[in-house]
A = this chain, B = another copy of it.
């Protein structure tokens, strides 16, 4: 086994049921490691956690201004949304400003991740389109970027397309890590994703949080995106989602973004810190729980209902009866845990 650490565990009537291991790191924009635990060096796929970085060219290349994108649209460009009506409306509006509709999107189609919205769509006799894809905001941003910079939109998801080249160069600069065919794979929404060390991901979000280490244009873009995200937590995820719930309570002090397969980033603008977490088994629930603990600890938030909830999440059965909990490891949370436990792994 690796040298990963316990991030979170579930208990049932006090008996440990499942354990999640992984790595977590907190860095400042100068590259100083403030905290680390587990393997933060082996490259991981950041998946959707880099969406705010992928949205930087939307501003630096003038697309947001050209199409007069609202903050809701900028937040949706950084989102893994749940396919709720408000998300669909904003994505649709972004495309309309370019003269396109959802037929231009190459992200693929799936039913809304929000099950209430999926059932409502079905009940209305409709089926989903590419707008319902959780990445449709990001992809609509790519279309805006292509149109603003005079690129043909066809095949915009391919690695060799100028838009994806722009994205790759941006990620390379901000993370300080090569993005080449050697560390590239294809993401769930068809665009490239590059494996990078967890430390590089944390450094990138320390830079995003503070502007330090970014060009003036990128620093200004990061500031505008931070504002857009903090002002629209619902756009970034949706009903009942970690990112939305945490930012509704704690933004602009705390910005978070989940990624598939148990990745999570946190930006703390006031402290100028970036965090990155990888639950090695891909468990999203553990990445959320670990993030809540590290936010409490490094943003020094003593009393936060939403952080307390996610650090010690109640597990209920179908009758609503409390049967156990999902809790952060004390290794991560230390004295910021809202209870006293001994890790049992």
| Contact A324 to B190, CB < 8 A, known contacts A18-B280, A18-B281, A123-B122 | no
A188 at interface by CB-CB < 8 Å: yes
Q: Is the CB of A17 within 8 A of B44?
A: yes
Total interface residues on A, CB under 8 Å, equals: 59
Chain B residues closer than 8 Å to A1, beta-carbon distance: 1, 4-6, 21, 345
Q: Residue on B with the closest CB to A2?
A: B345
Q: Residue on B with the closest CB to A320?
A: B108
A240 at interface by CB-CB < 8 Å: no
Q: How many copies of the chain does the oligomer comprise? A: 2
A261 → chain B, closest Cβ, in Å?
5
Q: Is the CB of A283 within 8 A of B280?
A: no
Q: Residue on B with the closest CB to A278?
A: B18
Q: 1/0 per position for A213-242, CB-CB distance to B under 8 A?
A: 000000000000000000000000000000
The A290-326 residues at the B interface (CB cut-off 8 A) are: 317-321, 323-324
A119 at interface by CB-CB < 8 Å: yes
Complex CA distance for A279 and B19, rounded to whole angstroms: 9
Q: Is the CB of B186 within 8 A of A12?
A: yes
Q: 1/0 per position for A107-122, CB-CB distance to B under 8 A?
A: 1111100010011111
Q: Is the CB of A15 within 8 A of B2?
A: no
Partner of A119, one of B13, B122, B189: B122
| Contact A15 to B185, CB < 8 A, known contacts A4-B1, A110-B318, A123-B125 | yes
Q: 1/0 per position for A9-50, CB-CB distance to B under 8 A?
A: 010111101111100000000000000000000011100000
Main secondary structure of the interface of A (DSSP, over half): loop
- Most chain B CB within 10 A, of A20, A118, A123, A286, is at A123
Complex CA distance for A240 and B106, rounded to whole angstroms: 27
Q: Is the CB of A319 within 8 A of B185?
A: no
A68 at interface by CB-CB < 8 Å: no
Q: 1/0 per position for A87-128, CB-CB distance to B under 8 A?
A: 000000000000000000011111100010011111101000
Q: List 11 A-B contacts (CB under 8 A).
A: A2-B345, A13-B185, A18-B261, A19-B280, A118-B119, A119-B122, A186-B317, A188-B318, A189-B318, A190-B317, A281-B281
Give the B-binding residues of A (Cβ under 8 A). Answer: 1-2, 4-6, 10, 12-15, 17-21, 43-45, 106-111, 115, 118-123, 125, 133, 183-190, 193, 195, 261-262, 279-283, 286, 317-321, 323-324, 345
